[in-house]
Amino acid sequence: MTTYDIIFYLFAIVTVVSAFLVVTNRNIVHSAFFLLFTLFGVAGLYVLLAADFVAIVQLIVYVGGILILLLFGVMLTNKITNVEIKTGTIHALPASIVLGLFAGAIGAIVLNTNWKVLNISGSEPTTAALGNMLINEYALIFELLGILLLIALIGAASMARR
């Protein structure tokens, strides 16, 4: 057990346990805050995989943007009388049986496959290389995504104000 392994298990436990609490908690606001811990844990896993730029983007976009948007959605779509905002579940037992089997099957495939893995060396900063790829090989996709995001935001604003 090196330090890397200990940090990995820490982030893995935080991620999976809070993801479990996200989908099982009855209070939506609590679920949103557990989603915060899940996203932090995933960002930590990105750092462990030597993806520093993606980890920071994950923190800024997910934690700073999408999570706040979801909390706004919760607040705008409930008659707020107190902090308790409950929600029910449907088909919980069949869903857990089917998804348990599904996760077992996929997990068995992952564990039994002989993955061809490179010998990884030390990690270097990726930001400069990612920037070069974005404005050279992926320039068209980058611009298209910018236009898509602009259209999506204009459409969302006009839909929500109707």
Residues 122-161 that bind other proteins (CB under 8 A): 126, 129-130, 133-134, 138, 141, 145, 148-149, 152-153, 155-157, 159-160
* Using rule CB under 8 A, residue 12 touches other proteins: yes
For residue 57, the minimal CB distance to other proteins (Å) is 6
Residue from 10, 49, 135, 139 binding other proteins (CB under 8 A) = 49
Q: Toward other proteins, which CB reaches closer, 77 or 81?
A: 77
The kind and range of the H/E element at 1 are none
Residues 24 to 43 in contact with other proteins, rule: CB under 8 A: 28, 31-32, 35, 38-39, 42
Among 10, 80, 103, 135, binds other proteins (CB under 8 A): 103
CA distances from 26 to 31, 66, 78, 125 (A): 8, 21, 14, 41
- Which residue lies nearer to other proteins by CB, 84 or 95? 95
Residue 49 and residue 90: Cα distance in Å, rounded?
37
Interface with other proteins: number of residues (CB under 8 A): 80
The answer to whether 22 touches 34, Cβ cutoff 8 Å, is: yes
Residue from the set 30, 33, 37, 57 that interacts with other proteins by CB under 8 A: 57
Instruction: Kindly state the tokens that stand for 6.
Output: 């200990």
Residue at token pair 């490179």 = 118
Asked if residue 86 lies in contact with residue 27, where contact means CB atoms within 8 angstroms, the answer is: yes
Measuring CA to CA, which residue among 8, 123, 1 is closest to residue 54?
123
Q: Which one of residues 80, 102, 125, 139 is an interface residue with other proteins (CB under 8 A)?
A: 102
